[in-house]
Structure 1
Amino acid sequence: MQAKKFVLLAALCAPQLVQAQEPALPETPKVVADPLFKKLARAPELKEESSGKWEGSFGLGLTMRRGSSNSTEGSLSLDAVREMRDSRLLANAIAVRSAENGERSGDTANADFRGERNISEHMFGFAGAGAERDMLQDLSLRGSLSSGVGVHWLNTEALTLNVYGGLAYSWERYRNEPDARGFEGVLGSELRYELSPTSRITHRMVVYPDSVGGGTRYAMQGDLTTRINSHFGLQVAVLQKYREKVRAENSHADTVLFTGITTAF
């Protein structure tokens, strides 16, 4: 009799148990189909690390004098960089051509092309080629092929400083002296400082502690560039060279200061 009562009680409670075990209402979708929330549902857009294009400036300057003496001085400057994911290419040049009374008197130029590839977060390897002309030192042409390693000493949005060192094979061709060639050590630095969204300072130095021509020599160049508009700007540049061993009675150091108009690309 008790068993029958238990079965009857279980039969009466069964609908309530089934009703209690019914599945809950479906969850609200994670992405709400509402125009006001579409932006919230999208993944954030990641900024590209680099454009992969050459960026920089090209400048020209000209000074002419006519009268008691005829003199012409023209200047050219180039500063360009191509940033990629793990590497970059750099090209820079400063050149001044000076002529007096129709004769060439004091041409000077420095040019450098370098490729860098990151080894780690703070180190990179490089290979480069350089050229120089300095008629005040009777140097018709100097060429250099270099390779080594460097360190990203500072790397912020406004300021970058890289230092590097390595070995170079260089050759020097003089106007009235025997040529010189061989291996030499090379040390260098490069600094870029963004003064403002429209102004920038760059400074470069290359030092050869024991050059193929004999003694220590270095070349240092710096410039201040300010944009006038999106296409043109003004530039003040300095090129200084020092050579411990000089030909004839030339000066050990020469400094050139010039201004020009630049265009960005």
Structure 2
Amino acid sequence: MHKPSLRTIFLLISSTFTNIAIADQVVLDDGSLLKGTVKQVANGQLIMDTAFANEVTIDYARVNQITTDKKFLVELESRDRIVGKLSVDSNGQSQLSDTAFGSVNIDPKNIKNVWETDATKPQILAVQQEYQDEIKTLKADKEKEVEDLKSSYETALTALREERNRLRDPWSGSIAMGITGASGNTNRFGAHGRGELNRETDQERMNIYMEVNFQKEDGEQTANQKLAGLSLERDISEMWFARGSADFEIDDFEELDLRAIAAASLGRFFIREDDLKFKGFAGLGYRFESYSDGTNEKDPTGVLGYDVKYKMNSKLSLFHDFTYYPSFSSPGKNYLIVTNFGGEMPITEKEDWKVRASLRSKYNSQPAQDAESTDTTYQMNLVYDWD
């Protein structure tokens, strides 16, 4: 077996002691000794590469002594800067050796920064990193701002297109249909339908409607009512508008051959928002009624009412209106009240098909003979809307 020569053993031992000797050393306030390579001192921290834990960061306030094997640029608390090795003499005095002035005694507590002679000052690196981070943040904010602007632009463009299409074709409408039935002890059949045609521009709103309610029970008619009417509103200002309306009604079971009411009024929006519109109106009109017994009533009338439309959420809309028609000749005794209340919700993704539940109540203070003063109709309809 080949035995290593004395020269080889000596070289190995010398190499080992040399590696140990060239290691930087840091002594802490509790006497701990760290060996490795000092990287820098900055911002009150010492950074050191060690064999056991790679890079470690130490609170510099705990450092009592530093020894380095190569020159560093050392900045003192006095802002003086000296290039040299950090060392400790035989008396335990910390020094900067190999400087342009020879060896200089220093107190490690007065050292502010330490960095390699060919490296950039840590504070400059920190500023550069902060600058780069700020650039990244500004870039991210700018990209987000661009995305937000793009989204806002697309939303505004969509709204403008919808408004353009609405202005090009201001007409819309709906058809509502419903049936009821029963068989057995009672044979009942009922049908009701309502059609509406609307025209809306920036300053005008027009509505035309027609409604039919028919019901038969055990072979006899129990309801036969026909309604029709139109209204036109034109804005005077953002909140005020002029209104004209005409409503017609035929009701066999009220012995009413025809009721016609024409009115002109001044109205005001109390709330005019996208999801809530509340308006009121007051004016003058003329009421004509013809009954099956041949009697006719003609009388100037007042008109006072309000109308509410509320979009509660994307799935439910509510509506309510109330109109009071007092006769000029005897407003306390001869008057007519008509009110409607209901709600509807879409049942398809396009929201063109809906379900509508409604209640219509009418009170006539002077009904025909054998007719009730109050006439109430409940309906549940399937509605088709088109724009």
TM-score normalised over the length of structure 1? 0.75
Q: Counterpart amino acid of 1:166? A: G
CA shift for structure 1 position 253: 1.1
Q: Does 1:136 align with 2:136?
A: no
Deviations 1:43-75 (A, max 9, x none): x75723743422343210011233444332111
1:120 corresponding residue in structure 2: 237
2:99 corresponding residue in structure 1: none
Q: Where do 5+ consecutive residues of structure 2 fail to align?
A: 1-145
1:262 corresponding residue in structure 2: 383
Q: What are the within-5 Å matches in structure 2 for residues 48-197 of structure 1?
A: 48=163, 50-51=166-167, 52-197=169-314
Aligned counterparts of 2:179 and 2:171: Cα–Cα separation in 1: 26
CA shift for structure 1 position 94: 4.5
Q: Counterpart amino acid of 1:257? A: Y
Q: 1:109 to 1:189 in 2, by over 3 A?
A: farther
Aligned counterparts of 2:269 and 2:239: Cα–Cα separation in 1: 5
Q: Is the helix fraction higher in 1 or 2? A: 2
**Contact preservation (8 Å) 2:179, 2:191:** yes
Q: 1:248 to 1:211 in 2, by over 3 A?
A: farther
Aligned counterparts of 1:219 and 1:149: Cα–Cα separation in 2: 19
**Contact preservation (8 Å) 2:177, 2:192:** yes
Deviations 1:175-224 (A, max 9, x none): 12412123211112111000222321111222112278961211111221
SS of alignment partner, residue 247 of structure 1? coil
Q: Counterpart amino acid of 2:335? A: T
Aligned counterparts of 2:301 and 2:278: Cα–Cα separation in 1: 24
Q: 1:54 to 1:227 in 2, by over 3 A?
A: same
Deviations 1:9-51 (A, max 9, x none): xxxxxxxxxxxxxxxxxxxxxxxxxxx9xx8xx9x75723743
2:337 corresponding residue in structure 1: 218
**Contact preservation (8 Å) 1:90, 1:113:** yes
SS of alignment partner, residue 253 of structure 2? helix
Aligned counterparts of 1:125 and 1:114: Cα–Cα separation in 2: 11
CA shift for structure 1 position 91: 3.0
**Contact preservation (8 Å) 2:242, 2:266:** yes
What is the total number of aligned residue pairs between the two structures? 228
Q: Does 1:244 align with 2:365?
A: yes
Q: Counterpart amino acid of 1:226? A: M
Aligned counterparts of 2:340 and 2:329: Cα–Cα separation in 1: 21
**Contact preservation (8 Å) 2:192, 2:213:** yes
Q: Where do 5+ consecutive residues of structure 1 fail to align?
A: 1-35
Q: Counterpart amino acid of 1:238? A: L
Aligned counterparts of 1:248 and 1:136: Cα–Cα separation in 2: 11
Identity %: 21
TM-score normalised over the length of structure 2? 0.53
SS of alignment partner, residue 136 of structure 1? helix
CA shift for structure 1 position 121: 1.6
**Contact preservation (8 Å) 2:300, 2:327:** no
**Contact preservation (8 Å) 1:181, 1:212:** no
CA shift for structure 1 position 109: 4.1
Deviates more, 1:201-210 or 1:90-99: 90-99
2:39 corresponding residue in structure 1: none
Q: Counterpart amino acid of 2:301? A: E
**Contact preservation (8 Å) 2:291, 2:368:** no
Aligned counterparts of 2:313 and 2:195: Cα–Cα separation in 1: 20
Q: Which structure is richer in relative contact order (CA contacts within 8 A, separation 6 or more)?
A: 1
Deviations 1:144-184 (A, max 9, x none): 22212111111011100111111222211211241212321
Aligned counterparts of 1:163 and 1:112: Cα–Cα separation in 2: 19
SS of alignment partner, residue 223 of structure 2? coil
